[in-house]
Structure 1
Amino acid sequence: MILFYKILLKIQSVYEQMLNKANVEICKYKGMKVGKNLNTPDKVYFGTEPYLIEIGDNVNIAAGVRFVNHGGTTTMLRRIPGYEDARIFGRIKIGNNCTIALNCVITEHVEIGDNCILGANSVLSQSMPPNTVFVGNPAQFVCSIEDYGDIILKGNAVYPRELEKDRKALDEFIKKNQPYKFKKAKRLR
Structure 2
Amino acid sequence: MIKRIRKLYRNKFWSSEKRATFLGVKIGYGCDIQAVSFGSEPYLIEKGNHVQITKGTKFFTHGAAWVLREKYPDIDFFGKIRVGDNVYIGNSALILAGVTIGSNVIIAAGSVVTKSVSDNQIVGGNPAKIIGNIEEFEKSILPFNLKTKGKSFSEKREILLSLNENRFIKK
SS at 2:100 equivalent = strand
Within a 5 Å distance, the mapping from 1:39-118 to structure 2 comes to 39-40=32-33, 42-71=34-63, 73-79=64-70, 81=71, 83-118=72-107
SS at 1:141 equivalent = strand
Task: Please give the TM-score of this superposition, normalised by the length of structure 1.
Answer: 0.75
Count of residues in correspondence between the two structures: 161
Q: Which runs of 5+ in 1 are unaligned?
A: 1-17, 185-189
SS at 2:131 equivalent = strand
Aligned twin of 1:3: none
SS at 1:170 equivalent = helix
- In structure 2, distance between residues paired with 1:92 and 1:175: 41
Aligned twin of 1:27: 20
Aligned twin of 2:4: none
Aligned twin of 2:121: 132
Identity %: 32
CA-atom RMSD in angstroms: 2.5
Structure 1 position 150, deviation (Å): 1.5
Q: Give the one of 29, 47, 52 matched to 1:36.
A: 29
Query: CA 1:150–1:182 in 2, change beyond 3 Å: closer, same or farther?
Result: closer
Question: Who wins on radius of gyration, i.e. which is larger?
Answer: 1
Q: Does the 8 Å CA contact 1:163/1:169 hold for their aligned counterparts? A: no
Task: Please give the TM-score of this superposition, normalised by the length of structure 2.
Answer: 0.82
Structure 1 position 22, deviation (Å): 4.7
Query: CA 1:152–1:19 in 2, change beyond 3 Å: closer, same or farther?
Result: farther
SS at 1:93 equivalent = strand
